[in-house]
Amino acid sequence: MRERRRRWWPFDEIFEEMRRIFEEIEESIFREWEEFERMLPRTKTPSGVEIHGPIVWGWSLTIGPDGKPVVREFGNLPRPYELRRGLIKGTREPLIDVIEGDEEIIVVAETPGVEKDEIELHATERELEIKAGDKYYKKLELPTEVIPEKAKATYKNGVLEIRIPRKTPKEKPKGTRIKVE
């Protein structure tokens, strides 16, 4: 039987080099993924099954009272570059919304899966610290000075609401309304 000889094609070498490069990239991705999995927080269930994660990270975008967008970061991976250094936190930041009222500051935090008695709140005139069990932690700067001694908090269905009176209420605009004809 006569052997068929494949004809030489000028791009054979180029395609072979591209195939080799893609294989190297694929191997590199698998190595990085394995390293990433080793850094994940691990928990064991009572039956001994190991659970990886959770990993939460993102941004929330709201419009502030001045009409400007407010971007807040949340999650247990605060910055992507920290992944390489293995700095995954066991706790995650709850998704938080800060609402500025005329008389008070309202902070709403999503903390599902936590019992009311696991929540610890600490406030100063400019900061609020939220700890909810071993799951959530956030320390945030408040937009104005408040009276922490008069703060009130409620928790229902995984939503924590904290109302803190402003130190000095927002002034209402003075003057007279002018009718447009």
Domain limits for position 111 = 54-165
Q: Tell whether 177 is covered by a domain.
A: no
In a domain, 17, yes or no: no
Q: Structural domain tally of the chain?
A: 1
Q: Give mean pLDDT, residues 82-99.
A: 68
Q: Which of 26-35, 97-106, 147-156 is the least confident region? A: 26-35
Residue 19 inside a domain? The answer is: no
Q: What is the pTM of this model?
A: 0.53
The mean of the pLDDT values for the chain is: 80
Q: With a cut of 90, say whether residue 87 has pLDDT above it.
A: no
Q: CA-CA distances (angstroms) from residue 75 to 21, 28, 80, 107, 155?
A: 35, 27, 11, 17, 20
Calpha distance 31→84 (Å, rounded)? 12
- Looking at the predicted structure, is the pLDDT value of residue 84 above 50? no
DSSP 6: P
CB-CB contact of 176 with 131 (8 Å): no
For residue 92, is it within any domain? yes
**pLDDT, tens only, 141-159:** 999 999 999 999 999 999 9
Encoded tokens for 15: 């395609």
Residue of 76, 65, 123 lying closest to 99 (CA atoms): 65
For residues 28 and 181, give the distance between their C-alpha atoms in angstroms, rounded to a whole number: 70
| Inside any domain, residue 70 | yes
Percent of the chain with pLDDT over 90: 35
Mean pLDDT confidence for 84-102: 73
Helix (H, G, I), strand (E, B) or coil at 98: strand
133 has a pLDDT exceeding 50: yes
Q: 106 in a domain, yes or no? A: yes
Number of other residues whose CB lies within 10 A of the CB of residue 142? 19
Per-residue model confidence (pLDDT) at position 1: 55
pLDDT band at 88 (very low <50, low <70, confident <90, very high): very low
Position 153 scores a pLDDT of: 96
Select from 146, 148, 163, 57 the least CA-distant residue to 109: 163
Specify burial of residue 70 (Cβ count, 10 A radius: 0-12, 13-18, 19+): middle
Does residue 151 sit within a domain?
yes
pLDDT score of 16 = 85
Here the CATH number for the domain that contains residue 115 is 2.60.40.790
Query: Per residue in 44-70, pLDDT tens?
Result: 555 555 555 666 667 778 787 788 888
Is residue 42 in a domain?
Answer: no
Q: Label residue 126 exposed, middle or buried (CB < 10 Å: 0-12, 13-18, 19+).
A: middle
DSSP state at residue 67: S
